[in-house]
């Protein structure tokens, strides 16, 4: 049996593990040091655990086995060398140990084949999935509010959210507001007639902004009655999200974010990575990887299309997640960025939605009781009969400091400001769909009768 000292192990965390397992009576066989050393099989066992957790074999695919293609990834020697940063002789001994422990003596088979190659694993198993299913069941069958299972699960999943980073080291929590790339949002509303549209334009801050508390129907990220501002990064996405019928009007208003906000970006969360300083030999890294794997799946679920008949059922979970993120003092985010299920785009920041929670959903003057504008959609000519469509709006004088609120101390500070010349009216002429066509195969006989 070979022995190795901590100094010959370049990976810091693994070196500390070796130091803990080292014994005085066994000197290192890979350097001239007389320091206490641990069995090389100990290192091999640690490497085996890391490989089974974070890697998958790439050399047993049909393309490699049957068509002699080059396997993707790294050889076992390269993986061990990179993971441990040990001398080449020690790497060879670890590989030999792994080859022996991966060999099934009864069947003669190798667990990963004769000359295995590995690639990073994309589907790390997470025990959080079972906990998530238990929480879903508890929410639907027991209680939504004051549910201890929900609080415990949310703390476990989102406790370290602010520390997660995406590719390039960027945080999954992004800034929005003045001086940031996310400074403007678009929100659309559908109108069935010119009369209702013209009436709404007399108070555009209220009619085109977030509905007042108590009037809002439940949405993807808000419970019924809870104010929320659903906006988009571009006009076309805003229109697509309200799904206007042909012949209707879609009024799209541009709102400027008036104060700094903090948003959770699900697009970045799907790409969240372990910190570069994380050691794969650290049990804490395994837990972090499992949490990240679950968060990536959760991000996809929260943004996935939902059929209208299933909205009440499926939105319950995303609403609870949004409630937790909005109210938790250690996270305290103002909204969520997520991809549009109605309008996909390859352009940067197109096809992207943003929901602002109740504490950031209110626009200046939205609570004013009196009209804030005078608007007309048609112009009449005295000399000629009829009228022609020529929409115009004139904003009335508004007090900057007054929001029209009875109890301003009990309401959140406004975060949005309507851009006066940022309203556009769209007459919906046609609707286009992007589909995947699948032909229906015609069979000669009933397969159920076989």
Residue in 328, 311, 187 with CA at minimum distance from that of residue 252? 187
Given this model, what pLDDT does residue 349 score? Answer: 64
Measure the CA–CA gap between 95 and 77, rounded to whole angstroms.
7
pLDDT exceeds 50 at position 256 = yes
Which of 82, 97, 120 is the last residue in one of the domains?
Answer: 120
258 confidence band (pLDDT: 50, 70, 90): very high
Structural domain harbouring 66 = 3-120
Given this model, what pLDDT does residue 147 score? Answer: 60
pLDDT exceeds 60 at position 408 = no
* pLDDT: which is higher, 110 or 393: 393
Measure the CA–CA gap between 318 and 315, rounded to whole angstroms.
5
269-322 confidence digits (pLDDT tens): 878 888 878 899 999 898 888 888 887 877 777 666 655 554 555 667 777 777
150-197 confidence digits (pLDDT tens): 777 777 777 777 777 777 778 888 999 999 999 999 999 999 999 999
pLDDT exceeds 70 at position 79 = yes
- 307 close to 378: Cβ distance less than 8 angstroms: no
**Would you say residue 432 lies in a domain?**
no
Please give the average per-residue pLDDT across 6-31, as a whole number: 93
403 confidence band (pLDDT: 50, 70, 90): very low
**Would you say residue 438 lies in a domain?**
no
pLDDT exceeds 90 at position 369 = no
**Would you say residue 180 lies in a domain?**
yes
Number of domains in the chain: 2
**173 pairs with which residues across the strands?**
264
**120 pairs with which residues across the strands?**
55
**Would you say residue 166 lies in a domain?**
yes
Which of 97, 120, 143 is the last residue in one of the domains?
Answer: 120
Q: Same domain for 183 and 321?
A: yes
245 confidence band (pLDDT: 50, 70, 90): very high
**Would you say residue 310 lies in a domain?**
yes
342 confidence band (pLDDT: 50, 70, 90): confident
Which of 14-23, 148-157, 206-215, 396-405 is most confident?
14-23
Which of 7-11, 137-141, 238-242, 303-307 shows the lowest mean pLDDT across its residues? Answer: 303-307
Please give the average per-residue pLDDT across 81-86, as a whole number: 96
- 124 close to 46: Cβ distance less than 8 angstroms: no
pTM, to two decimals: 0.76
Tokens of residue 375, six digits: 């608007």
Q: Same domain for 259 and 283?
A: yes
Please give the average per-residue pLDDT across 21-35, as a whole number: 88
Sequence-separated (6 or more) residues with CB below 8 Å from residue 190: 242, 243, 244, 245, 248, 249, 250
């Amino acid at each position: 049996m070979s022995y190795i000292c901590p100094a010959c192990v370049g990976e810091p965390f693994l070196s500390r593990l070796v130091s803990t397992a080292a014994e005085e009576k066994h000197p290192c066989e890979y350097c001239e040091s007389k320091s206490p050393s641990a069995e090389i099989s100990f290192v091999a066992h640690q490497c085996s655990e890391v490989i089974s957790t974070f890697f998958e074999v790439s050399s047993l695919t049909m393309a490699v086995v049957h068509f002699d293609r080059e396997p993707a990834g790294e050889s076992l020697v390269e993986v061990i060398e990179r993971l441990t940063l040990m001398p080449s002789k020690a790497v060879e001994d670890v590989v030999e140990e792994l080859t022996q422990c991966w060999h099934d003596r009864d069947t003669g088979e190798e667990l990963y084949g004769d000359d295995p190659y590995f690639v990073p694993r994309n589907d790390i198993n997470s025990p959080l999935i079972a906990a998530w299913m238990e929480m879903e069941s508890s929410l639907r069958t027991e209680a939504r509010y004051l549910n201890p299972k929900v609080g415990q699960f949310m703390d476990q999943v989102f406790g370290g959210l602010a520390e997660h980073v995406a590719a390039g080291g960027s945080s999954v929590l992004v800034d929005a507001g003045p001086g940031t790339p996310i400074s403007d949002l678009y929100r659309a509303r559908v109108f069935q007639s010119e009369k209702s549209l013209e009436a709404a334009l007399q108070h555009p801050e209220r009619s085109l902004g977030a509905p007042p508390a108590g009037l809002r129907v439940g949405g993807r990220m808000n419970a019924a009655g809870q104010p929320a501002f659903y906006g988009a990064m571009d006009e076309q996405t805003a229109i697509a999200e309200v799904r206007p019928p042909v012949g209707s009007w879609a009024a799209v208003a541009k709102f400027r974010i008036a104060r700094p906000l903090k948003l959770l970006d699900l697009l970045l969360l799907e790409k969240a990575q372990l910190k570069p300083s994380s050691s794969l030999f650290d049990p804490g890294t395994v837990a972090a990887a499992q949490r990240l794997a679950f968060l990536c799946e959760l991000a996809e679920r929260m943004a996935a299309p939902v059929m209208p008949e299933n909205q009440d059922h499926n939105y319950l979970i995303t609403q609870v997640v949004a409630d937790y993120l909005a109210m938790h003092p250690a996270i305290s985010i103002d909204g969520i960025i997520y991809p549009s299920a109605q309008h996909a785009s390859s352009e940067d920041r197109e096809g992207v939605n943003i929901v602002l929670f109740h504490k950031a959903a209110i626009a200046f003057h939205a609570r004013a009781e009196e009209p804030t504008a005078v608007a007309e959609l048609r112009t009449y000519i005295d000399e000629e009969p009829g009228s022609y469509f020529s929409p115009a709006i004139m904003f009335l004088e508004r007090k900057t400091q007054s929001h029209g609120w009875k109890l301003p101390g009990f309401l959140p500070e406004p975060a949005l400001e309507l851009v006066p010349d940022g309203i556009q009216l769209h007459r919906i002429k046609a609707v286009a769909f992007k589909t995947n066509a699948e032909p229906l195969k015609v069979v000669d006989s009933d397969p159920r009768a076989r």
